[in-house]
Amino acid sequence: MERPRSSAANALSFYIHIPYCVKRCGYCDFNTYTPQELNSANLSLITTPYIDAVLREIEIAKKRVGAVDVPTIFFGGGTPSLMPSAEITRVISKIRQEFHLEEGAEITLEANPDTLSASYLDELVAAGVNRISLGMQSAVPHVLAALDRTHNPENVERACQLVNDSGIAHLSVDLIYGVPGESIEDWKISYEQALALPIDHISAYALIVETGTKLAARVKRGELKIPPDDETAEKYLIFDEAAEQRGFAWYELSNWAKPGGACRHNITYWNGSQWWGVGPGAHSYFAGKRWWNVKHPNTYQNALTSGKSPEASNELLSEVNKRDEFVMLQIRMSEGISLNDLTQEELARVSKYRDSGHIEGANWDAGHLVLTRTGRLIADRIVREMLV
């Protein structure tokens, strides 16, 4: 069966994990650590040795994959903007040195709106960064408080201005909805403010209460109440409509962009392209194998210092695995799945969703399965039913 694969076999994107935060937010289950958790007085003492380790892993990548084209780099975290720009520069230079960093490659860095400065942004531009992603989450103070976020909502607008002034072409903000205590009105306030920002990309995520987080504990204790799913669904629908009106088109279930603003890096995850995740806990996918690194920064650095691979474990994807992932990921995207890529049985099982308005009728008739607004909200269910 033919599978659409947009990137060439000799391309490899890089994800660089920066596992540090000043403070851990209550909802976050990412692999990130505060200086206190690492028994360090401040981050400056740990950044340089950490980036040394990152560079060593990039060398391992070179040995493993050889000369490849690098279309995108993404600094995620954690809080990558905590890194001095010199460290970011070292990483990008290293990749440029070991591989072929494509002309016009997309280089994204996630940033905290509170701490961005014009000079820092200038240094990032010099290093090659051309896309910034700001964690905004909400514009409503009590919602931010429920998320245990510290930033001042006004800083987001200031940060956007700074990014624009720096000449960085692409700017995204993240929102979270479905937060305890957030009303429909609260949500409207947040997204209206966000959509009015000088940005070309916006991600909006329904809150996932991850086990083991402070948020989960507070929900369990009854201190916070998760809004009903139906209300969260409603928030998705009104947001999708508002985003569309403001010129943002959805291209993935939780991502919207103005023309040319789609995040090329994230698309590599969804269309089955190859990427290398550098840093503790990072996942990689290359040549049909997926692996992930040891989780703790210290263990990670120790492995690399002693010349060992930081790989913790891996899996070789079977044809069935690959096919499951293809359907599961591709259905989240606006380009959808060609009906030719589905079996007759699969088509028969999901055609009822066309009748119920969960699958776009016109696309279906033209040979493509594309989910409607309401369909995206039950995408996991449709995938389950299709793949039985």
Partner 1 sequence: MPAIPLNKAPQPSKTDPAQIRNFCIIAHIDHGKSTLADRMLGITGVVDARNMREQYLDRMDIERERGITIKSQAVRLPWKSGLDGKEYILNMIDTPGHVDFTYEVSRSLAACEGAILLVDCAQGIEAQTLANLYLAMENDLTIIPVLNKIDLPAAQPDKFAEELAKLVGCKPSDCLRVSGKTGAGVEELLDQIVAQIPAPKGSADAPARALIFDSVYDTYRGVVTYVRVFDGKLSPREQIQMVSTGVRHELLDIGVISPEPVSSAGIGVGEVGYLITGVKDVRLSRVGDTVTSYHNPAKEALAGYKDPRPMVFSGLYPIDGDDYPILRDALDKLQLNDAALVYEPETSVALGFGFRCGFLGLLHMEIVRERLEREFNLSLISTAPNVVYRVFLEDGSEKIVTNPSEYPNGKVARVLEPIVKATILSPSDYIGTIMELCQSRRGTLGGMDYLSEDRVEIRYTLPLAEIVFDFFDQLKSRTKGYASLDYEPIGEAEGDLVKVDILLQGDTVDAFSSIVHRDKSYPYGVMMTTKLRELIPRQQFEVPIQAAIGAKIIARENIRAIRKDVLAKCYGGDITRKRKLLEKQKEGKKRMKMVGKVEVPQEAFIAALSTNSDGESGKTKK
- Residue among 100, 13, 89 nearest 51 (CA): 89
Say if CB 153 and CB 141 are below 8 A apart: yes
- 379 lines the binding site for partner 1 (CB under 8 A): yes
- 347 lines the binding site for partner 1 (CB under 8 A): no
Cβ count within 10 A of residue 81: 26
- 315 lines the binding site for partner 1 (CB under 8 A): yes
Among 79, 85, 193, 266, binds partner 1 (CB under 8 A): 266
- 47 lines the binding site for partner 1 (CB under 8 A): no
Among 328, 339, 342, 347, binds partner 1 (CB under 8 A): 328
- 381 lines the binding site for partner 1 (CB under 8 A): yes
Identity of residue 338: S
- 5 lines the binding site for partner 1 (CB under 8 A): no
Among 33, 120, 285, 300, binds partner 1 (CB under 8 A): 285
| Residue showing tokens 């990921």 | 329
Strand pairing category for 311-316 and 289-293:
antiparallel
Instruction: Kindly write out the interface string for residues 151-190 of this chain, putting x where it contacts partner 1 by CB under 8 A and - elsewhere.
Output: ----------------------------------------
In the complex with partner 1, the residue whose CB is nearer, 52 or 385, is 385
Among 358, 359, 363, 369, binds partner 1 (CB under 8 A): 358
For partner 1, which stretch binds (CB under 8 A), given 99-107, 115-123, 206-214, 216-224?
Answer: 206-214
Among 24, 100, 283, 296, binds partner 1 (CB under 8 A): 283
What is the C-alpha to C-alpha distance for residues 137 and 205, in angstroms, rounded to an integer? 9
Identity of residue 225: K
In the complex with partner 1, the residue whose CB is nearer, 81 or 266, is 266
For partner 1, which stretch binds (CB under 8 A), given 92-100, 159-167, 218-226, 373-381?
Answer: 373-381
For partner 1, which stretch binds (CB under 8 A), given 1-9, 45-53, 124-132, 202-210?
Answer: 202-210
For partner 1, which stretch binds (CB under 8 A), given 86-94, 110-118, 119-127, 268-276?
Answer: 268-276
Task: Classify burial at 388, counting beta carbons within 10 Å of its beta carbon; exposed 0-12, middle 13-18, buried 19 or more.
Answer: exposed
Identity of residue 151: H
CB of 241 to partner 1, least distance (A): 15
Longest dimension (CA), the chain: 62
**Secondary structure letter of residue 339 according to DSSP:** G
- 229 lines the binding site for partner 1 (CB under 8 A): yes
CB of 67 to partner 1, least distance (A): 23
Query: Who's near 221: CB < 8 A, 6+ residues apart?
Result: none
Among 52, 114, 324, 335, binds partner 1 (CB under 8 A): 324
246, 251, 256, 257 alpha-carbon torsion, rounded to 10°: -70
What are the structure tokens assigned to 156, written together?
A: 């987001």
Among 239, 292, 300, 364, binds partner 1 (CB under 8 A): 292
CA quadruple 376, 382, 386, 388: dihedral sign: positive
For partner 1, which stretch binds (CB under 8 A), given 44-52, 129-137, 212-220, 262-270?
Answer: 262-270
What's the Cα-to-Cα distance from 137 to each of 113, 154, 206, rounded to whole Å? 11, 13, 11
- 251 lines the binding site for partner 1 (CB under 8 A): no
CB of 120 to partner 1, least distance (A): 25
- Residue among 368, 378, 269, 379 nearest 332 (CA): 379
Q: How many residues touch partner 1 (CB under 8 A)?
A: 48
| Strand residues in the chain grouped as ranges (E) | 13-18, 69-77, 100-111, 131-137, 170-177, 201-206, 249-252, 255-257, 275-278, 283-286, 289-293, 311-316, 337-338, 368-369
What is the C-alpha to C-alpha distance for residues 3 and 17, in angstroms, rounded to an integer? 30
Q: Which residues bind partner 1 (CB under 8 A)?
A: 15, 205-208, 229-230, 232-234, 236, 253-254, 266, 269-270, 275, 277, 281-285, 290, 292, 315, 321, 324-325, 328-329, 332, 352-353, 356, 358, 374, 376-381, 383-385, 387-388
